[in-house]
Amino acid sequence: MTSSDSAAQTPAKVPAKDPWDLPDVSGLVVGVLGGTGPQGKGLAYRLARAGQKVIIGSRAAERARAAAEEIGHGVEGADNAECARRSDLVIVAVPWDGHGKTLESLRAELAGKLVVDCVNPLGFDKKGAYAIKPEEGSAAEQAAALLPDSRVTAAFHHLSAVLLQDPEIEEIDTDVMVLGEERADVEAVQALAGRIPGMRGIFAGRLRNAHQVESLVANLISVNRRYKAHAGLRVTDV
C-alpha cells in the first residue's frame, strides 16, 4: 500500500465546533413563569425589547395581563398553565418557596419544553443573605427531578432586576452562566442570553454544578449592599 493509499483510507479529522457558533433562537416563543415579579418582569422586558415573542405567566391571568400591558413590546399575559403550553422555552422565575409546588402542578404543560431555571434558594437573617441547599442539590436539580419529560437548564441567576427593568439602560454589562446536560439545549439558552445587548451566555457545566452558581447570588447581595451597586459577573479570558 502506498502512502497516498493509506492517507486516503484515514478519515479526515472533523474540526472542533466553534463554541460561539450558536443557533438562531429569534423565532422561539419564550414564556416566563413568575413574570409579574421583579426578575421575571425584567427578563420579559429585555427579551421582548430585543424582538423576542414573550408570554408572562402568573397564578392569576388578570395579574399577568396587567403586567404585560405595563411592559409593552408585544408581551402577553396568561395564567401559568397557558403560558407553559404556548411557549417553546420557559424561564422559571418564581419565588423559591413556591418553586417545587409550581413546577409539579405544570408537569404536563412543560413536557417536551426547554425549561430554564433561574431561581436562587436563599434565606435571610440579621447577617444578610445566605444560600440554602435543597435536598436535590439545587433548584435546577429539583426542577429536573419534578419535570422528567422536560429538558431542564439553569441560567439568568445573577442579573439585577433593577437594571433589567430600567428603560434608560441600553445594555446590560454581564455574562450569564448556563448549565445543562445537553449541548444543544445549553447553546439555545446561551443564544437567548446573547439576544440582550451587552450579555453573553457562557457554558458553566452540568446541572450538578448549579448549586454554587445559585448560591453566588448571596455574595452579590452582600456586594450590592456594601457598595450601593447592582453587581453582575464577567468571565475573563473567554
Give pLDDT, residue 11. 66
Percent composition of the chain: helix, strand, coil (DSSP 3-state, to 5): 40, 20, 40
Give pLDDT, residue 12. 72
Average pLDDT over residues 184-204: 98
Surface-to-core class of residue 13, CB atoms within 10 Å of its CB (0-12 exposed, 13-18 middle, 19+ buried): exposed
Give pLDDT, residue 235. 96
Give pLDDT, residue 14. 76
Summarised one tens digit per residue, pLDDT across range 136-177 is 999 999 999 999 999 999 999 999 999 999 999 999 999 999
* Helix 139-146 vs helix 210-227: crossing angle, to nearest 10: 140
Average pLDDT over residues 123-133: 95
Give pLDDT, residue 133. 95
Q: What are phi and psi of 207, to 5 degrees?
A: -60, -25
pLDDT of 35 strictly over 70: yes
Distances from the Cα of 92 to the Cαs of 100, 127, 223, in angstroms? 11, 28, 25
Q: Which residues on adjacent β-strands are paired with residue 122?
A: 131
Q: What are phi and psi of 155, to 5 degrees?
A: -170, 175
